[in-house]
Structure formats: structure tokens, C-alpha cells
């Protein structure tokens, strides 16, 4: 891992541990829990971006895709746990920032899994008695992905329902949610993705107990059981969900790897980093905003329309 990304990830993890203590403090008032949750959201986003930054290296993509996917999934699990604690304190707490964070982690883990499945080098590294644990790890990761696809759809529906009933006034995030057509498209993606993940999990659980002769055998079987399309669908699904929930707590371009600030919330602060249309989506700078416009414009127009009702 490059030194800047390693040091930034370590610092973010240390700060996150401190914030987690605040979040878990017995009897803490809802306002304190909410503040700690926002702090953790920014730090967890930074951790995810560190992984994305590392994954830009071709050597990492070829050799450590599975490790990157595991790291990102740990970040995703932490985000879900923080959101659960937040909802205990405030059942009406906004889900949108957490949906977006989980979705972005899923997008990156999909890319990492695609690299794990598709590159010969990744197979060679797993030869000589390492294959069963690796395949078991892959099975566990895919099971987690399967669970989180359902989690995302459920919370996307809740965000959309809340946004539709409150228009632009009562939602703390200002997100109006996906339209019925957009939700239907996500559900269609969900069905296809869940079927592919389920088949892959079952096959990997069975195949991990059978003998393998060479790295080429490993690559062939991994490709057969974890179809490249499944990893690509996972990446696309995460991107599609993230695109529907623009928010104020992080740079809205999913591929952003800007690590200039320790916390993402500090990175996107300031009037110059907010979309002039929807007045909601924030960016770390002009470059990310320009690159993301094609993906953002549909949600931007939807939110502008809701604000004029």
C-alpha cells in the first residue's frame, strides 16, 4: 500500500475508534449519537477511499483483489452498524448517507472481485495449499454481498417513500428518493444479481473441498463458479444505488480518491463544492463535479422539480 494512503487509513481508523466510543456511550443523548455518527461517516468514507486509492495500482488489482474486497466489506459492515445504532437513538434518522456509503463500498468490492476472478496472477498466488481458505473467504464475501443487496433495496425503498411523502421540506437530507421507474430498474438488477450470487456461493462452498492440481485449475474453476458478469453486476448495482442518493456528507463522485483531508466531511465543506442545481450534492472540487455530471443530472433534475412543488 502506498505510504500516503496507508498513513491516512491508519489516522482515519484511530479517529473512528474515538468516535465509536462516543457513539456507544451508555445513555448518550440522541444529539451526541447523531454527531458521532456523522463523524464516523466521514472517517469510514475516508477508509473506503483509501482502499479505492490503493486499488488504482495495476499490481494491486492483479494480486490483491480479494484483500481489497475484504477491507471494503469491513468498512461496509461498520457503516451498517453505525446506522443501526443511530436508528436506535432516532428512528427517523436519515438513511440516505448510509445507503450511499454502503452502495459505494459494494461498487468497489465488485471491481475488486472482478479482478480476483479474471486475472491469471491472482490464481497463481493462491496455489499450494492456499486455495481452500481463499475460496472459503470468497464464498463468505459473496454471501455478505448477497445480504447487503437486499439491505440496500429495502433502505432505498424507505428513502424513496419518505422523500415522496415529505417532498423537499422535512427530509434532513433533502433527497427525494428514486422514482417508481428507477426503483423498478433497481429491483430488476437486484433479482438478476441475487440469483448469480446465490449460485456462486453454493458452488464455491462445494468446490472448496475438492482437490486442485494447478493455478490454471483454480482460475478455470473460479471463472466457472463466479461468472465475471456477477462481479460486474455487483459493481454496476452499487453504482446505480449510489447515483440515486446524492448527499451532503461526501464527494458525490463514486470514483473519487481525494485524500487531502482526514475526514470526508471536511473535504467537501465550503460553498464552492455544492451543485448549483439541486443545492445538495457536494464534491471535493471542480474536477469531480464535472466528471460526475452525466451520472448526477437525472437525480439533480428530479430534486429540483421536487423543490419547486
Q: Quote the pLDDT of residue 308.
A: 74
Contact assessment for residue 200 and residue 178, using Cβ atoms and an 8 Å cutoff: no
* First-to-final CA distance of the chain: 49
Q: What nine digits make up the cell of 246?
A: 446524492
Write the CB contacts of 124 (distance below 8 Å, at least 6 apart in sequence): 215
pLDDT at 148: 94
Cα–Cα distance for residue pair 96/84, rounded to 1 Å? 13
Residue 100, C-alpha cell as written in the block: 450511499
* Residue 43, all three cell numbers: 472517517
Q: Report residue 285 as a C-alpha cell.
A: 472540487
Q: Are 149 and 193 in contact (CB under 8 A)?
A: yes
Specify the pLDDT at position 146.
Answer: 92
What pLDDT is attached to residue 168? 44
* Distance separating alpha carbons of residues 142 and 137, to the nearest angstrom: 9
| Whole-number pLDDT of residue 164 | 54
Q: How many CB atoms lie within 10 A of CB 77?
A: 14
Residues ≥6 apart with Cβ < 8 Å to 122: 62, 63, 65, 66, 115, 116, 219
The pLDDT score that the predictor gives to residue 238 is: 92
The answer to whether the beta carbons of residues 61 and 51 sit under 8 Å apart is no
Report which secondary-structure segment, H or E, holds 1.
none
pLDDT score, position 223: 63
Parts of the chain with a pLDDT under 50: 1, 122-123, 125-132, 167-172, 174
Separation of alpha carbons 279 and 247, rounded Å: 10
- What confidence score (pLDDT) does residue 103 get? 94
Which region, left, alpha or beta, applies to residue 211 given φ > 0 means left and ψ of -120 to 50 means alpha? beta
292 close to 273: Cβ distance less than 8 angstroms: no
User: What is the residue-wise DSSP string for 285-307?
Assistant: SHHHHHHHHHHHHHHHHHHHHHH
* Cα–Cα distance, 263 to 270 (Å, whole number): 14
468516535: which residue's cell?
A: 19
Q: How confident is the model over 4-60, as pLDDT tens digits?
A: 665 666 676 667 766 776 676 667 788 888 888 888 898 888 888 888 877 777 766
Amino acid at each position: 500500500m502506498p505510504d500516503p494512503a496507508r498513513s491516512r487509513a491508519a489516522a482515519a481508523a484511530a479517529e473512528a475508534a474515538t468516535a465509536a466510543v462516543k457513539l456507544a456511550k451508555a445513555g448518550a443523548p440522541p444529539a451526541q449519537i447523531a454527531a458521532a455518527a456523522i463523524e464516523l461517516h466521514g472517517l469510514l468514507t475516508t477508509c473506503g477511499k483509501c482502499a479505492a486509492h490503493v486499488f488504482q495500482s495495476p499490481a494491486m488489482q492483479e494480486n490483491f483483489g480479494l484483500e481489497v474486497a475484504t477491507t471494503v466489506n469491513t468498512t461496509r459492515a461498520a457503516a451498517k452498524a453505525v446506522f443501526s445504532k443511530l436508528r436506535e437513538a432516532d428512528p427517523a434518522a436519515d438513511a440516505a448517507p448510509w445507503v450511499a456509503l454502503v452502495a459505494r463500498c459494494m461498487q468497489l468490492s465488485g471491481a475488486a472481485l472482478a479482478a480476483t476472478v479474471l486475472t491469471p496472477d491472482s490464481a497463481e498466488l493462491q496455489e499450494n495449499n492456499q486455495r481452500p481458505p481463499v475460496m472459503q473467504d470468497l464464498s463468505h464475501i459473496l454471501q455478505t454481498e448477497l445480504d447487503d443487496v437486499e439491505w440496500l433495496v429495502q433502505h432505498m425503498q424507505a428513502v424513496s417513500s419518505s422523500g415522496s411523502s415529505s417532498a423537499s421540506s422535512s427530509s434532513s437530507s433533502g433527497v427525494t428518493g428514486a422514482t417508481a421507474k428507477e426503483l423498478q430498474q433497481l429491483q430488476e438488477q437486484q433479482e438478476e444479481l441475487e440469483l448469480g450470487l446465490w449460485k456462486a456461493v453454493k458452488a464455491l462452498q462445494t468446490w472448496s473441498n475438492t482437490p486442485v492440481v494447478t493455478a490454471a485449475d483454480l482460475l478455470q474453476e473460479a471463472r466457472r463458479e463466479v461468472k465475471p458478469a456477477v462481479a460486474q453486476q455487483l459493481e454496476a448495482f452499487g453504482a446505480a444505488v449510489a447515483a440515486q442518493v446524492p448527499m451532503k456528507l461526501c464527494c458525490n463522485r463514486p470514483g473519487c480518491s481525494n485524500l487531502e483531508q482526514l475526514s470526508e466531511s471536511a473535504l467537501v465543506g465550503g460553498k464552492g463544492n455544492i451543485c448549483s442545481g439541486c443545492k445538495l450534492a457536494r464534491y471535493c472540487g471542480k474536477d469531480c463535479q464535472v466528471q460526475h455530471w452525466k451520472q448526477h443530472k437525472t437525480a439533480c433534475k428530479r430534486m429540483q422539480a421536487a423543490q419547486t412543488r
